[in-house]
């Protein structure tokens, strides 16, 4: 939403004052930022950022810009969402240009729409700058295409934990479709329940599955298993958040298509040997 055309009025380089930009930072690699996102970071007067925004991206924030941390982890919120919403309104009303920097894409499990709704209700102008969501970036860097002819004709994104820590409530039978790739955000805590439900509702236990930690960053780690063995493999590898889960037949291409990080280096050594 933008009530006025862009201008070069005060409030940073080319940024309008009293404006909030909901910006997607992507999955971690700073080179995956959009050109617009990088420009807004360089010109913002205030940046309110999340826990999953990587340090190299924070380094792109302009000198002298105020930084406010608003990170959230499961059961550990530095600022509750309601307070973040009000903070954005308050900052914009001081006449400053504000970037709300969110990991991945603001509108995919990022609560960006809740913040946008609050800004709209308060009459604060805002713009949304999409980012590469973890599903697209993380899977690609792990060597996994989300769709592939003959393996997957659709893809579904789902959250791995319920609202307010309630039990997960998904259409498990629908999710067990063998022609669909499932990408689970924030799924480590309930991984055992997720795979149990999928198998109970018809998913082949031998379906390939993967977990990708810290995707697109130098710290990326990848585990490839099956739906039946994924929880055990993740525990053995001691993976920690942020970890993305990918379940579906496309995961069988992970070894062939590995190109980033330790997995690609291992394959290269094997090929040369």
pTM of the model: 0.89
pLDDT of residue 7: 38
Say if CB 211 and CB 239 are below 8 A apart. yes
Same domain, 113 and 191: no
Same domain, 159 and 102: no
Structure tokens at 173: 């039978």
Q: Which residues are within 8 A (CB) of 189 and not within 5 positions of it... i.e. 6 or more apart?
A: 74, 160, 161
Same domain, 268 and 140: yes
Catalytic residue among 8, 29, 36, 50: 50
Q: What is the C-alpha to C-alpha distance for residues 64 and 60, in angstroms, rounded to an integer?
A: 12
CATH number of the domain residue 42 falls in:
3.40.1010.10
Domain count, the chain: 2
Mean pLDDT per block of 10 residues along the chain (273 residues) reads: 40 74 97 97 96 95 95 69 96 97 96 97 97 98 98 97 78 97 96 97 98 96 98 97 97 96 68 62
Q: What is the C-alpha to C-alpha distance for residues 44 and 172, in angstroms, rounded to an integer?
A: 43
- Tell which of 132, 147, 178 closes a domain: 132
pLDDT of residue 261: 84
Give the domain extent around 259.
Answer: 135-272
Say if CB 227 and CB 204 are below 8 A apart. yes
pLDDT of residue 273: 61
C-alpha distances out from residue 67 to 40, 99, 148, 194, Å: 14, 10, 41, 37
Residue 171, in any domain of the structure: yes
Taking the CB of residue 130, how many other CB atoms lie within 10 A of it? 18
- Tell which of 84, 111, 132 closes a domain: 132
Catalytic residue among 8, 36, 72, 171: 72
Residue 126 DSSP label: E
For the question of residue 72 being annotated catalytic, the response is yes
Which ranges of the chain would DSSP assign to H, the alpha helix?
35-43, 55-58, 81-93, 112-122, 134-141, 172-175, 191-200, 230-237, 254-257, 261-272
**In whole angstroms, what separates CA 195 from the centre of its chain?**
21
Q: What is the C-alpha to C-alpha distance for residues 209 and 44, in angstroms, rounded to an integer?
A: 40
What are the φ/ψ torsions at residue 212 (nearest 5 degrees)?
A: -125, 115
Same domain, 72 and 184: no
Same domain, 110 and 167: no
Same domain, 99 and 177: no
Residue 4, in any domain of the structure: no
Same domain, 89 and 148: no
CATH number of the domain residue 156 falls in:
3.30.950.10
Residue 222, in any domain of the structure: yes
Same domain, 127 and 139: no
């Amino acid at each position: 939403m933008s009530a006025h055309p862009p201008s070069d009025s005060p409030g940073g380089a080319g940024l309008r004052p009293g404006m909030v930009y909901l910006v997607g930072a992507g999955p971690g690699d700073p080179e995956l930022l959009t050109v617009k996102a990088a420009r807004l970071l360089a010109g913002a007067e205030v940046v309110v950022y999340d826990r999953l925004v990587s340090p190299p991206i924070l380094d792109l924030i302009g000198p002298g810009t105020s930084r406010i941390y608003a990170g959230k982890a499961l059961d550990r919120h530095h600022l509750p969402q309601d307070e973040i919403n009000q903070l954005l309104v308050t900052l914009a009303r001081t006449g400053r240009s504000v970037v709300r920097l969110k990991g991945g894409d603001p509108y995919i499990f990022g609560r960006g729409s809740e913040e946008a709704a609050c800004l709209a209700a308060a009459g604060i102008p805002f713009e949304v700058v999409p980012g590469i969501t973890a599903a697209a970036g993380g899977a690609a860097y792990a060597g996994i295409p989300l769709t592939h002819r003959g393996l997957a004709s659709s893809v579904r994104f789902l959250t791995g934990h319920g609202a307010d820590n309630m039990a997960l409530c998904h259409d498990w039978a629908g999710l067990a479709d063998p022609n669909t790739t499932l990408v689970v955000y924030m799924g480590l805590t309930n991984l055992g329940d997720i795979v149990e439900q999928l198998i109970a509702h018809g998913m082949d236990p031998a379906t390939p599955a993967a977990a990708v930690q810290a995707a697109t960053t130098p710290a990326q780690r990848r585990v490839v298993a099956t739906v039946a063995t994924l929880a055990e493999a993740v525990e053995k590898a001691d993976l920690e958040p942020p970890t993305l889960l990918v379940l579906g037949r496309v995961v069988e291409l992970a070894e062939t298509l590995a190109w980033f990080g330790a997995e690609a280096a291992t394959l290269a050594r094997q090929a040369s040997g």
